[in-house]
Amino acid sequence: MKITAEGVVPLARQVPSPNSDERPPAEAVTLIVLHNISLPPGEFGGDEICRLFANTLDCDAHPYFANLKGIKVSAHFLVCRGGELIQFVPCARRAWHAGQSCWQGRQRCNDFSIGIEIEGADETPYTDMQYETLAVLVRALCSHYPVRDVVGHSDISPGRKSDPGPAFDWPKFRRMISMG
């Protein structure tokens, strides 16, 4: 999988998000953070995630969306249930995915991480197609950037976040990214 100098994956569908900014000067990408997301919670397949990250979500369209009014979030990538890859923010930029976070004593994980959302929910098994797309993407990112760790949102925001959740098969995923 090709990654441009700006951190764009040409094979991914591009849906630009305004919810990003410049990384701190000379900050290297050393961390990949895996998340899950579904909107409304537990429902898959709509365009609500893309709309949330593009700031075009109709917050009156579903009762849950009222909680999201005014929120400005994004991720670098989304891996959909069928394996489709969507990119919202070039990897050279800082996406707003981790919030208050800390990894190995370093605060503000958005500064040095790439955020990958996986369409899902904590207790819902992920699809084989998602694992396949995710593994190819992560291997490419690790070849392009000096990534040292791949972790869950729960690892950098313990007690505050639980994703990608107990349904995420870490042993399977680790085997897949070590192949190649």
**In the predicted structure, residue 179 carries a pLDDT above the cut 80:** no
Amino acid at 132: E
Q: For the segment 99-118, what is each residue's pLDDT rounded down to a tens digit? A: 999 999 999 999 999 999 99
Instruction: Please tell me which residue, 178 or 112, carries the higher pLDDT value.
Output: 112
C-beta separation of 48 from 40 below 8 A: yes
Look-up of token digits 């849950």: 64
Q: For the segment 137-166, what is each residue's pLDDT rounded down to a tens digit? A: 999 999 999 999 999 999 999 999 999 999
Residue 72 is predicted with a pLDDT of 97
Q: For the segment 14-64, what is each residue's pLDDT rounded down to a tens digit? A: 999 999 999 999 999 999 999 999 999 999 999 999 999 999 999 999 999
- Is 117 an annotated catalytic residue? yes
Residue 60 is predicted with a pLDDT of 95
SS3 for 6? Answer: coil
Enter the pTM of the model: 0.97
Q: Other C-beta atoms within 10 Å of 160: how many?
A: 11
Q: Exactly one of 27, 48, 117, 132 is catalytic; name it.
A: 117
**CA–CA gap between residue 22 and residue 46 (Å, rounded):** 30
**CA–CA gap between residue 13 and residue 64 (Å, rounded):** 27
Residue 180 is predicted with a pLDDT of 57
SS3 for 153? Answer: helix
Buried b (16+ CB within 10 A) or exposed e, 10-49: eebeebebebbeebeeeeebbbbbbbbbbbeeeebeeebb
Domains and CATH numbers, the chain: 13-178 (3.40.80.10)
